């Protein structure tokens, strides 16, 4: 606790790593790619209904 009060990190390196994997830039890019794939599939499905 005293180290935290003096300005040290209150997170372990493992906690920081897990947070980066879940919420970091790489996670955002992966979610965007997944969303784009899903959107493309939905567009293709809706396009085929009108043919």
In this prediction, residue 31 carries a pLDDT of 72
Q: Which 8-state DSSP code applies to residue 10?
A: S
Residue 3 is assigned to a structural domain of this protein: no
Containing 34, the helix (H) or strand (E) segment is: helix 25-49
Residue 9 is assigned to a structural domain of this protein: no
In this prediction, residue 49 carries a pLDDT of 55
In this prediction, residue 16 carries a pLDDT of 85
pLDDT tens digit at each of 51 positions of the chain: 566 666 677 778 888 888 888 877 777 777 777 777 666 555 555 555 555
In this prediction, residue 8 carries a pLDDT of 72
Residue 10 is assigned to a structural domain of this protein: no
The whole-angstrom separation of Cα 5 and Cα 29 is 35
Number of domains in the chain: 1
Check: CB of residue 21 under 8 Å from CB of residue 27: yes
In terms of residue numbers, what domain contains 29?
20-51
Residue 1 is assigned to a structural domain of this protein: no
Residue 6 is assigned to a structural domain of this protein: no
| Phi then psi dihedrals of residue 18, to 5 deg | -60, -40
Verdict on whether the full-model pTM lies above 0.85: no
Q: Tell the residue number behind the tokens 């300005």, with chain if given.
A: 7
Residue 8 is assigned to a structural domain of this protein: no
């Amino acid at each position: 606790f005293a180290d935290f009060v003096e300005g040290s990190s209150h997170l372990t390196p493992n906690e920081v790593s897990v947070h980066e994997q879940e919420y970091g830039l790489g996670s955002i890019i992966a979610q965007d790619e997944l969303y784009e794939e899903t959107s493309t599939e939905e567009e293709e499905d809706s396009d085929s209904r009108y043919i």
